A and B are shown apart, each in its own frame.
Chain A
């Protein structure tokens, strides 16, 4: 049976391309389910998970096309402590200077949009001072940040105070975009963790003193456009930059735990990132199993219900039959989109609810098709013959009518998958999606809410919609070719 269907499909060009598309989707599904753990999938809506990613970065391959125009967009660079050269300088027993240098090669026609430095330092009783300086390719060097860290271990010894501090940090953490320095304090260890953003006030202030280096006013220009700028005009200065992160400590226990230097790029990954710094390819991957799950579950349930309901109403006929048709009529004349919205308004935001909703409104159409078929088959000679032989109605339906309808049912199944997927995407787009299952529709909703189409973030809009279309067309092609190959047998 299965091999027959596959042979049938293979002989049809549309069927072949449908199967290839489906295999592509299944590959993504298998990869996602087996290599991305569920805990990581839940991080989609967690902003701090994505903090090391660039904001609104285009896919990296557009640099290939831009190279014809002799332009390059900056790539996203994350330097870890392993990429750095660390130099230690000690004087006496206690005074110690640690210089951690990163080398950044800038060869792009645009400024990097931002940079950030997350670091954690283990400290003793006396907190160290940190300094960030920069050596530019034109020989200019200046300090862009200086700060003596607060002595945490003393001030947070009181439990209550610590709690309130933590609460304060918690509220600030939520919109970390506005809060430029995120500070985390672990109570029992003497490790201080901070993240310095290029837009922080300290950097802007220390840059204001350097105005005489530049031939243009730098007051209103963001820090990264000053640091990476030519001194004559405000254009990017290409070459090798050295960032030096220095720790001046007065105690032996002071030590750098971890440091990164993140220069944000305007291109990242194969599909880029969105306004919330999320990697779009990650969203596309975790959306695939959910879309297939919704589509297939809804399609199976509604075809099975539709098959038996249609058969029963067609085979029974008479008053009960007409009543059953009226019920189908009522279902079909309900404006589904409006109803879906008001239902979701009260019960929504759960994936099971959405599936149930699509099943509830998916079966009537299929029932109507099956009814026409069963009326036709009912009058075939062999059915009448089995009736005369005294077979029960149930047996006739199961043995003679259902097998005839299997090819059609499979086609109906394939053709009702897209309706469910498109419906889910539309409801998610309106904001009724299940937040614990990120879907393509929800990605597009985020894009629309961030005005991505007006700001021209095409890489955020294209992939989710393309995936929805690919999934739908795969099933439509398979369904169409199944439909084209199936016909009723008059003889058995």
Chain B
């Protein structure tokens, strides 16, 4: 299979998954969204009716309340028809319509949430929160992999039974501890007992004030340390495993025989050849933290997408939920795609692996 076909296949899968997720979301939340829109229309009509008129004049327009109600109903049904809301959400036309709206980022307004500036548009909300999520989880994932590569390759060079067992045990342990529970423990430890870091990671300052960045970084410290602590043991363990496997290959052994210094072998040859696997590790790390971000951000009250998603679910804010599902899925799939592409460039074997 050529690299072109490989990329096309991966992109097709990406699109299929994205469409499936969106269809499922529409399927699950579609009926509530229609209800929300109809309510909005009714509200608009009532508002326009009251307008600037005083209570008396408004009542004089109609003979009695029932006539007024009739007028409102009539106007509402008219608007509903013109917007195509009279069709059930599962009609193909409607689904296509909703789908195209989502894909073109026409995500509508959140029901309960606003940005700091007061905008309730879902796009603005995501735009405000997304950088925070990326800031926290990419820096911590990179740190985890960095620590893994440095300590892991150091340990691979000098195999000590005690440290090996210790790291292996620690790696198993960090896989079995729920990260979000560990976050709670960290808050108890650092915010309640030691009182070094704040328990709530949303800075109280306004986002446009000059000290905001500093405050944000200070508030980020505890979540950052937590994510790094959760990940570093498995990272070291896998790097060591990967490097050891590469070191045992014949061509590396030959280099040792020729007289190339071990340090140079490790840095120049072993790590280079372990590149694809290390990339996979980084990618998987980022992908798995993305899913976990919902819980961790909620516990630390970090102002990111995961926290927003959790709150949107609690409040049942359907437009926001749909928007966030779209972004989460997109972020996840694009990370995967980049990972796949990098791998196929770094390691040509992967492309031909099928059968």
* Chain A residues with a Cβ under 8 A of chain B: 14, 317, 321-322, 325-326, 329-330, 333-339, 341-343, 345-346, 375, 418, 422, 425-426, 429-431, 444, 447-448, 452-456, 458, 461-462, 464-465, 468-469, 472-473, 476-477, 480
Contacts and interface: CB of A to CB of B under 8 A. Distances in A.
Nearest to B169: A14
B192 A453 contact: yes
Contacts of A452: 184
Contact of B178 (A426, A447, A456, A480): A426
B13 A472 contact: no
A458 B79 CA distance: 56
A461 B188 contact: yes
Contacts of A472: 175-177
Interface in B192-206: 192-193, 199-200
B336 A473 contact: no
Given A341-B313, A444-B181, A476-B175, A454 B199 contact: yes
Given A330-B16, A430-B310, A335 B328 contact: yes
Contact of B294 (A329, A337, A425, A447): A337
B140 to A, nearest CB: 17
A480 to B, nearest CB: 7
Interface of B is mostly: helix
Give chain A's interface secondary structure class: helix
Given A321-B355, A342-B321, A345-B313, A456 B21 contact: no
Given A333-B17, A336-B291, A425 B199 contact: no
22 contacts: A330-B17, A333-B333, A334-B20, A335-B21, A335-B328, A335-B333, A338-B294, A338-B325, A345-B29, A346-B29, A418-B175, A426-B295, A444-B181, A448-B184, A452-B184, A454-B199, A455-B192, A458-B188, A469-B176, A472-B175, A476-B172, A477-B172
Contacts of A330: 13, 16-17, 20
B120 interface: no
Contacts of B355: 317, 321-322, 375
A465 B200 CA distance: 21
Interface residues of B, number: 48
Contacts of A456: 188, 192-193
Nearest to A425: B178
Nearest to B299: A448
A454 B21 contact: no
A333 B181 contact: no
A429 B295 contact: yes
Given A337-B294, A447-B184, A454-B191, 12 more contacts: A326-B13, A330-B20, A333-B13, A337-B291, A338-B21, A342-B28, A345-B29, A454-B200, A456-B188, A461-B185, A468-B177, A476-B176
